[in-house]
Structure 1
Amino acid sequence: MPWWSSRRSALLVVATTALALTAAGCTDGTPVAVETTTRPTASPSSTPSPTPTVTAPVDVTVKPTRPAAMDEPPSVEGAVAVSEYFLLLYPYLYATGDVTDWSLLSHSECTFCANAETNAESMSVLGQRSEGGAFTLIESSGSEVTPGAWYAVKVDLVQEPSVSVNATGSVVEEFPETKRVHVDLAVVWEGGEWAVREATPTEAPAA
């Protein structure tokens, strides 16, 4: 399920191009960031634990909790919360084939969003699904590009290994590595609703 895999490498190329074109054309002039916020979502402990703690794997078939920001007036904090929710829907999308919430958050001109939805639906038609691949959010930050309308969000996350299986549970494709990923998103407030205009994931160097 990695975004940069050979199976879906075309998504990253298209998404990158689309973001570069659309972000520049979202206003009548050159966008100027007027507000910035950074919210760490996870941080390593400075004190090592004497007893290893076993963490239960995240069940990606459980839909992420919808943030309150989805129903609040636009703000930088809201854009960040919406972006995080959108990204957490990604492994859920491929694990269940349920594209409802993803589709509602996807802007009509978001190429990356549409491609991910199409791929998830295609897997579902073939009786395939993804197992694993949970995201752990590391740090998120955002800035207001056009007041009350256009926001730029950056998210760093870790993606766990995953496999694609068929209807009988047999593995058809493996993604065995844990990846550190950086995602640039363009989030807009239109018609009283949030929408992800574009998302561009890139693999980051291991920490």
Structure 2
Amino acid sequence: MDIFRTAWPDLVVQLDVWHFMRRLAVGVTTDTHRLYAAFMGQLSAAIFCWDKSDLNLLNEAKRQQLIQANITDPSDSDVSVRLDRKELSLHCRRMTRSTEVIGERIQAVLELFGGDSGRDTMGVSLFHERIWELWKQQQKHVECLQDPKGVQLYTQTGTLKKGGVVLPVYRCARGSTSLESFHLHLQRFIPGKIYLCSFLCVLI
């Protein structure tokens, strides 16, 4: 990366979260393991958190919907179980946790699925033994997962009313087709054998 910093001092290069997760997933015995989806979901939750203000607004909208459906005084658990991933992605912004918290949470996820909780009904472990070596190699890249400071990754495209509550509708640049196309452009633009498809690159 030193060559980039020298030639383009204002170029921010971040590691794409999905590609980072796939690096750890190499330590899984098979992606058809019944716990694979749960593991990847926990891994994502270890890296990202939802914007609290957006999440509170969505919870209130869902609560009002339940009240309108004649569910009196719905509890927090009643509300949370009815929130699906599509709604969260549509109305709530996500951000990366701090480097320290991500490291601690990923360690906890690996320890959880690396024990008895990581075995299926046949006793097959989710992980190969090399999962710990992979994690040791990837820990140094956790810092590269941070969202670039001062860069707006979300654009509000409109609003939607649910339960009488007006919710923002967001579009995220993270993981979008346009971003992947930008990776391809950079690979062609910068001379030499340079592979940038695994990185989120932002010109400040």
TM-score interval, smaller chain? under 0.3
TM-score under structure 2 length normalisation: 0.26
TM-score under structure 1 length normalisation: 0.26
Greater fraction helix: 2
Greater fraction strand: 1
Q: State the structure with more CA Rg.
A: 2
